[in-house]
Structure 1
Amino acid sequence: MTAMISAAVLGSAGIVHADVTSQSSATTPTDTSEVVAKTTDLGKAALTTSQTTESSADQNSNRQESTAPVSSNDQEKKASVENNQNNTEKTTNPEKEQSSDTVLKSSVSSVANNENKEVKSVTPATSSFATDENIVSQRTVPQANSTITVSNPTDYPTQAAKLVGKNSQGQPYYIYQIVNLRNPTLDSQQARLILAVDPANPQGNNFVYVTTDQYKKIYGNVYVIAPGRYADIAVGTSGSTSPNGENSRIFRVSNTQPFTFNFNGKTISVPASVSIKSVRTVNPVYGLGNQAKINYTDKVDITPELNNPAIEYIYRDKDGNYTTNSALPTNVPVNGITGQRFLITNVDNYKQVVKGYYLTNQKDSLSNTANGKDYQETISQFQIGKYYQKTLYNWDRSVSQTLIYELLDPQGTMNISLVRPNAKTETKRVAVGQVDRFSNGTLARNPFVPGANAVQLVYADLGHIIPVDENGQVISQDQPIYNNDETDAHKAAATASPDLTAEGWVLNDPKQATITPANPGEDTKVEYRRVIINTETKTVTQTVKYEYADGITEGRPSLPAPRVQVATFTHTTITNPVTGDIISDTWTPAQKFTTVYSPKVDGFYADFAYVGGNDNVTQNTPDTTFVVKYAGPNENVEHQTVTQTVHYQYKDGITEGRPALPQDNVQQKSFTHTVKTDPEGNIIEDTWTPDQADNQFTAVKSPNIHDEATDTNYYYDQAVVGGNTNVTQSTPDTEFIVYYLPGNITTQSKSITQTVHYAYRDGVTQGRPALPTDNVQRVTFTQKIETNPFTGDVTGYNWDPIYSKFDSVQTPELKGFYADQEVAGGDTHVIPEDSDTTYTVYYAAPVSKITDEKHVTQTITYEYADGITANRPTLPRTDVQTKVFYRTVTTNPWTDKVISDTWSPAQNFTVVQTPTINGYYYDQAQAGSNSAVTHENPDTEYIVQYAPGKVTTEDKTVTQTIKYEYADGVTEGRPTLPADNTITVDFTHTIVRDPWTDKVISDTWSPAQTINPVESPTIDGFTPDHAEIPGKTITYDSENLEYVVKYTKDEEPNKPTPEEPTPEEPTTPEPEKPNGPVEETPTPSQPQPTVPAPEAPVQQPTKPVEESSEIPVINQVVSAKPAAPNKEANNKLPQTGNQDSTAIIGLGLVTAFASLFGFGKRKSEK
């Protein structure tokens, strides 16, 4: 028999089984290309920033197989895979869309035997995720005289590698995981999955192959799983393809793409991971890092990365924490993939001297195993300063939990954090090779492999020189960092101690002037002592005195006080307290005396404007004194006048017959000149003083000239002349002329119109009455204009007539339409300044609108007559019918005057047939009315009531009695006879009547019942005439039954042999086999050693077996005499659905013991 491996296509609506072929079919499918499921939005599979969604975590299971052991029959039915020699290669285009929130999409395919070994797939676009190492690889160059080469691991599965494909550059895909599939076999060989990535883009697509432990060929398709997608691979022939079925053969492979999210208050980026989920578990055969060789229900691995570092530069702070530091060199990448081997020649070339830091690695440490030689190791999955994730999903594709890994130190200690939806994040610090456990049972296993990592060059801060006093107290913040040893990154060079003389300290030990530390990371304390300081002071003065030249002071202003300046100098001597040498002997620096300007004394003048001043006053400058003398002045006075004149003239020179011109306008300002000289004749003051407070000429406004006789206006060429805001003695005399001329006269006319226009408001004219012709009226005005002869500006005008008026126009009527105005135009006076006016009269049809709305309802309500609803059928929904009426009002479109007011016509409700309710009866078969209603009708309500039928009952009992007697009537000296065995059967007569009409609806008796056969009890030495009383079916009309069993003494043997009587051992009654459901208790298989506790246990639900009995069976009640129980008796209780099997077994035991020990009679169950 040929068995094919089926595929389960999972969609959002449920699970669809798509069997390629049944097990009984012998045909081979001609198409083994991938079955692709529709894209399904299954929830966020990665953690995000605006609200962080928690991720899922990696789990493994060490559970014992909970399914029953495979029987030989099952082994015969295990799946074999039919060769398909005719299959051609198929090309599958994986979906290119990737959700922005990293949602996994489903892609499910069947697995079939395929001699072509590989189904080619189009390579999708590479992932956009860029790691820090990609950047480093662009800017870090390996050191000279060193090379880095890469090779596959020594245990790389070369046989399996022959099955995987190649990328577009011809590079074979890189295998990073091979797992055994628990239970399924292919061609009687152990089934396996191979997981590989493109070496050019390992964070992109995953390539999954189904094969066996012989690696002879590929079964079915190559599964190309893009980032953010998954594939369900159904392997084997037994079991359901449901992803959460008990015997599921689904192996779900999910590719969680790289993502960025907020973790512990900062944004981190994590690379991809791939999980394998299955009920049947998988077991790793080959993989990267620290792999536990156990059975997993969920196997999650961090996807390999490209260009991880071969040389890591790591910073260790004062507290022993390891991290990255921008001051250190950038990491040196290796052009390979996680898990590959790399060889670096001459590691010492990478030990760089970094200012302020030293290399902590010592001989034989992790990164110095070669010390100048070569270093060969494995490209590590982990590096300090980065984070990694393992995400685990539920079967519905929602995130279960996420483990976040952070490498803390070169020894491999890790922080492992459990992040779950709607739960607090837990973090465990796990040492290398250790395992911890989270609160939900998830194991926190440290996957770091010691030694399988890059060269880790760990740098720390160089120490400082710390100045202290003789008590060890720090005395200065001048604490220099050690100098680097430029020839050895591990060491610090000689460093000078700081010179603190200016702060008052000197070295206590001159030998500590230079420090060469033995430990480059440890601070060195250098002791200083306070210097000895002696001081003395000296002053130097400059004095300025003031006197009158003639010595007279009486009646004169007081002279200024002397001005004294003092310079103080300090002499400081500093002595070294250790050697006694004078460190310093100094005076404070030179100072300055300022020049002193002679103060003013009213009415007197100094002989020196200023005295004194010295820019270099030292302790050696002598004291100095200056004397300034004051004397009185001489005075000379003169006067001067400045004039402004405005003249008025006719421009054309004509004065005859014209008004007289205005008189000239004359303004004058006078000034006094005073000159003062000192006694030596030197001018000490030369001033001009105005004789008036106002020293401005006023601007003169030109007067108006009007000839009253001729009504003629004369215009000036300047409205305002003259005026000066600042007249001084130096201002020259000024003259202005204002010219006059009569105004220029011109005339003009102006016409103004009034137009009344007629239009329809909506602009529609077709099919309507013709509109009236426009009404146009005109008025003409004549104007005389006068202009200024100098500026041309219009200075006056008058109109004839002064105003006029248009006639009002009566609006013509237009049939079927209404005008917005009865009269248009002519309502105000018209003046020459007005413009043409147009009035538009609009016509419109009357307006109809709904002003009111009225609802009239008919409601039919259903209720139980007694008001009780609990434990009864749900009543019919209330039937509500509503009729809506509208009020329409028609009005004049302009005045809103009502033209008509009407309501919508009458309507009819529908009569409703009353719904039936099983077991209940209504009081009316229909309700409601179909009469016409209008808006004036009130709402109506009908109530339909239900009531149960009237039930009357009577009971009847039928009895079966079995009596036991000796046939000869003798009882004395014989065993006591069994008590009468009485069984009663009850019947009920039920009559149901209509509660409203009292009509009989049903008349029934309870059904027939059965009495089991009753075995006659045994009496030693006697035989009953009936071994048993047969069973019988009893109905309500059966008569009472009575049986008599008679015992006859057995005949004795001819030659009885007396012997010691042996008491008969009573037999133990066998409990009845339960007819109810029995829970199957699975028996676990033998424990597997060294397997950790299960993180995701698989439950094995049992299916209850349901039995029912149509006719109840009456239990036998036996006599109280201790007699051997009848093992053949099968008295059963009525079966009413599924009951606990243990309860039924217990009841059987109680019944057996009752019959054994005679616990009296019991009425049978009904």
Structure 2
Amino acid sequence: MNPTDPQTPGTPINPDEPDGPKWPTSTNYDKTVNETISYVDQNGHVVAKQHTDSVNFTRTVVVDNVTGEVITSGAGTTAWTATNGDTTFDAVVSPVVPGSVADKAQTAAVTDLNADSANVNETVTYTKVGSLVPSSSDGNFPGAPTVVYPNDPSDATKVTPAGVPTVPGYTAHDPEGHVLTPGSSYQPSDPMKDTTITYTADKQKGSVSYVDDTTGKTLKTDSISGTTGSKSSYSTSGNIADYKKQGYELVTDGYPADLTFDNDDTTDQNFTVHLKHQNIQSTEAKTVTETIHYQGAGNQTPADNTAQVTFTRQVSTDTVTGEKTYGSWSADQSFAAVTSPVIKGYTPDQAEIGAQTVSGDASDLDFTVIYTKDATTKPVNPSQPTMPAKPVNPSQPTTPAKPVNPSQPTTPAKPVQAGQAAATNFVDQRLPQTDETDQQHMTLSGLLLLAMSSVLGLFGMTKRQRKE
């Protein structure tokens, strides 16, 4: 009997003899050697499906039909033979279990198996892999995720380099203090142990500029610095107070009172404080005075005549530079015409100072009126009146006087004192404001005096002729 012609143990060898010899219960003509590989964690929990394999051996045995005993040798009994001639368990690669590494990459092959070989039982134990663990002593560190080491897909006992978490504004360092650039990977020396990645805050910087909006110029720029996430100790209040003392006023303060430095290493944090010049408005007044001086009338000279008008304008004063900007003066004003006072015996050179219109830009006005004493005529002495000549009787014409020998000129008769014309002092009379001489008045006076002198002269000559 053999595996290809098996018999049922305990049944009659000869079916026709039910009480005859029976097929043995153990004929031992078929044998299997098994291989089992288990994959478990450190606690014995299965982490992957078992691997099983087997090698089968067979032989042919002979049973004595009379006695039913198995004949183990000779008489047609054969040796054990492996099915298909396979007497080897191949090496088995340990499966990759995510997050764990195996203690062996594969189980070794088992060769030269035979029917007497024991079953093969193997166990592969897995241990959890380590992680990159971010850490920082900086109180503002926002944290970063833990990164489990990636399994090597081709070797269950290994891991591949782990990507270092990028934390903006912070620099990563490995356990040896080496800088790990953002986006880089780290290969742990022991895949089953955690690796601490230490993060330090990056330096941050910026500036605060103070700008004069009136001129568009930057007054000053202060530098500020700190580290990612830290609070700035800088304050603008002191500088703003100083600028206010210089005449500035605050427009906007663009610097935050509680500035926290950001995590952007590529861009500085720059802020601007805007100021402008203050302008103080005031009103300026100006008085323009007109003064008329009077001269030449002695103790009768009038006192100065004064009049005033007042103008106003707006003034804007830049409190930083002190520069003033002036508005227009108020409307023009006028001084009324002033008639020169009348003083007996004196004539002013200007009868009137005309009306004057002035603006706020005008200077004070000064005028002078000069009085000149009027000229006087010496009167004839009334105690010695001149006797009029006796009129010639027209009905008795007189004999003409003998003419004087022209070769012996006579001395002209001395005019009678009483008839002598008084000397007249002509005063230069000028019209008010025009300063022109009163020529007509002088001419008339001269003609009258000349006529009087001629009459008196003729009267004297007639009297002398009568005496002769």
TM-score using structure 2 length: 0.30
Tell which structure's C-alpha radius of gyration is larger. 2
Higher relative contact order (CA 8 A, sep 6+): 2
| Higher strand fraction (1 or 2) | 1
TM-score using structure 1 length: 0.14
| Higher helix fraction (1 or 2) | 2
